[in-house]
Amino acid sequence: VMPATVRDARDLLIAATLSPDAVLYIDDRWLYGQREDLPPPVDVDLYRIGNQILREGSDVTLAGCSWATLLNLQAADALAGNGISAEVVDCRILNPFDRRPLVNSVAKTGRLMAVDGSWATCGMSAEILASAVEGVAPAAWKSTPKRIALADSPAPTSAPLEKLYYPNVEGLVEAVMKLV
C-alpha cells in the first residue's frame, strides 16, 4: 500500500495492521509535510479500500500512487485552466492491483499519463501502462500512453539537482499538453 494523503496514511496503516495478510506499507518522504483535518476512520478493510478515481475528467487520465497522486491533482487543476479535463486515478493498493478504476478511466478518456516518483524501469508506471494496455481495447486509444518517472540514473543529493531530477507539476502539465 502507498498512501497519497494524510487520511490515506492513517487509514491504510490501520488496515494494514488489521489485515490477516502480510502487508508492505510504503510512504513517501515528500508527504511528511502534509497536514489535514481528519474525521474518524470508517473503513479499515484493506481489500475494500482499493484504488480510486479522485477527480473526474474526460480528456486524459493521470494515474500514479503516493506523491505522484498529489502531483496529478495539482496538474489537473493547472490543465483545467488550459481547457483540458484530467481524470486522476489513485493507485494506492499495489498488490493485489485493482485495475478496474484505471482501465475504466482510460477507456473513457482514451489517453493515459502514468506518473511515478520512482525509476521508469520496473517501476509503478510500467505496471500502470501494462494494465491499461492489456485492459483497454485498441480502438479506444486516442494517443500512445506515456509516463513520467525518474531517469535510470542515481538520485542526486543536492537540492538544485533534485528540482531537475524529480517529476514536478510544470513538467507534467507540459507533457500532458503534448499528449492531448
Strand ranges for 16-166 from DSSP E: 52-55, 60-64, 86-90, 112-119, 146-150
Per-residue pLDDT of the chain (180 residues; tens, 9 = 90+): 788 888 888 888 888 888 888 888 888 777 778 887 777 776 666 556 778 899 999 999 999 999 899 999 999 999 999 999 999 999 988 888 889 999 999 999 999 999 998 888 888 999 999 999 999 999 999 999 999 999 888 888 898 988 888 899 999 999 999 999
Which burial class, exposed, middle or buried, applies to 53 when counting CB atoms under 10 A from its CB (0-12, 13-18, 19+)?
middle
Give the pairing of strands 112-119 and 52-55.
unpaired
What does the pLDDT look like over 24-55, one tens digit per residue?
Answer: 888 877 777 888 777 777 666 655 677 889 99
Tell me the whole-structure pTM to 2 decimals: 0.83
